[in-house]
Structure 1
Amino acid sequence: MSHSDSDFFLQQMADVTPLKQDAINTPNNSAKNALSSFYKQQSSKQLLQLKDALKNTQVEFVAPDDYISFKSPGLQAGVFKNLRLAKYDIDAKIELQGLSIKEAQDTLINELSTCHRRNIRVVLIKHGVGKENTEQPAKMKSYVNAWLVHFPFVLGFHTAQTQHGGYGSVYVLLSKNEQAKLANREIHAKK
């Protein structure tokens, strides 16, 4: 722009007043910290309730070659079908074979809670088939089947496909964590 163009532009803009910026309500750090603290309190309270629920769970024993499956009422049929058919990437694996029932319960609570907190959506749990256990075949599998329905963030689970362990493993679909839900709401609110 030449000097005269610049002067002309400034003359033309002399009586223009800048637009006021609309105030945008964004959570400040103290609000974010309060929200984070609230979720942590809820999370620890939820874990205590979960531990109590799992301790008192009645276990219905399944056979080593039985499918185990659960679909929460809100889970879409197509999403559950994709989980069942291994159409989703497995984001994490939890190994329970060789653990005592108590160790497996603690591992499952800690690992699944960590996965949920990290917003991991699909987990493969390897519980084994338990055919060698002559006293109680499929014991670990039966406990896993009974426990998983008590996790508030488990949307569904189903026995894995052969390439992922078949009857000795289960796919588990977790819900989004609170922060991911909040971010999703913010994204859709902007549209």
Structure 2
Amino acid sequence: MSKNDHLSDDELSLFREAVQGSKKLQQDTIIHQPSKNFSDLQQQRKSLKEGKNEEFFFSDEFVPLLSEDGPIRYARDDVSKYEVKRLRRGVYVPDVFLDMHGMKQDEAKRELGSMIAYCLKENISCASVMHGIGKHILKQKVPLWLAQHPDVMAFHQAPLEFGGAGAILVLLSIPDR
């Protein structure tokens, strides 16, 4: 109906009889939330998962059984000792270097978790962690933290060209995508 269409008197009186006794409704304002796209939900889940990877909790109380003779080294039970030997010889060349010189323990833990998450995201299998020698605090803690992470396959003291006694080469398992 347009504004030019008018109701006749009979139609108007018929309408008033039909609605007689009814109450006027008070209109509430309802704001409809836009529905989220499926891709938005996937991005949120992915960002949450990445955030969890970066905030991997390294315990200071857990002490894994590492060999104390010779340079620091470690390999998971399902990893061949030959991989550790290849790390020692420098066959694996690190694509990422993390320099921890001057960091405090909590900063170093956070950066180590972020580096591992970055390597997994970018499909990088070998990284170098330069902890330095200094007071031996990070030199002692970094191997303990690395042994706790489920994606660390093996690590070994770096060869001289990658930092020697002040660095560790880390071999990471890259999940199939």
Identity %: 26
TM-score (norm 1): 0.61
**For residue 76 of structure 2, what is the aligned residue in structure 1?**
72
Separation (CA, whole Å) in 2 of partners of 1:77 and 1:67: 14
- Please say if 1:140 is aligned against 2:138: yes
* Structure that is richer in helix per residue: 1
Q: Is the 8 A contact 1:57 1:146 kept in 2?
A: no
Separation (CA, whole Å) in 1 of partners of 2:139 and 2:60: 17
Give, as a single letter, the amino acid of the residue that structure 2 aligns with 1:167.
A
Larger Rg: 2
**For residue 125 of structure 1, what is the aligned residue in structure 2?**
129
Off by >2 Å, runs of 4+ in structure 1: 36-48, 55-60, 76-80
> How far 1:112 moved relative to its partner?
1.5
> How far 1:93 moved relative to its partner?
0.4
- Please say if 1:95 is aligned against 2:93: no
**For residue 82 of structure 1, what is the aligned residue in structure 2?**
86
Change in 2 beyond 3 A, CA 1:109/1:162: same
Separation (CA, whole Å) in 2 of partners of 1:110 and 1:45: 10
Q: Is the 8 A contact 1:160 1:170 kept in 2?
A: yes
Unaligned 5+ segments in structure 2 are 1-37
Q: Is the 8 A contact 2:53 2:117 kept in 1?
A: no
Task: Give CA deviations for 1:78-134 in whole Å, capped at 9, x if unaligned.
Answer: 32221221112211100111101111111111111111111101001100112xx3x
**For residue 168 of structure 1, what is the aligned residue in structure 2?**
166
Unaligned 5+ segments in structure 1 are 1-29, 183-191
Q: Is the 8 A contact 1:124 1:169 kept in 2?
A: yes
CA RMSD for the aligned pairs?
2.7
- Count, aligned residues: 136
One of 131, 140, 152 as aligned partner of 2:150 = 152
Q: Is the 8 A contact 2:74 2:84 kept in 1?
A: no
Give, as a single letter, the amino acid of the residue that structure 1 aligns with 2:85.
K
Q: Is the 8 A contact 2:158 2:165 kept in 1?
A: yes
Q: Is the 8 A contact 1:91 1:123 kept in 2?
A: yes
Change in 2 beyond 3 A, CA 1:45/1:86: same
Change in 2 beyond 3 A, CA 1:66/1:124: same
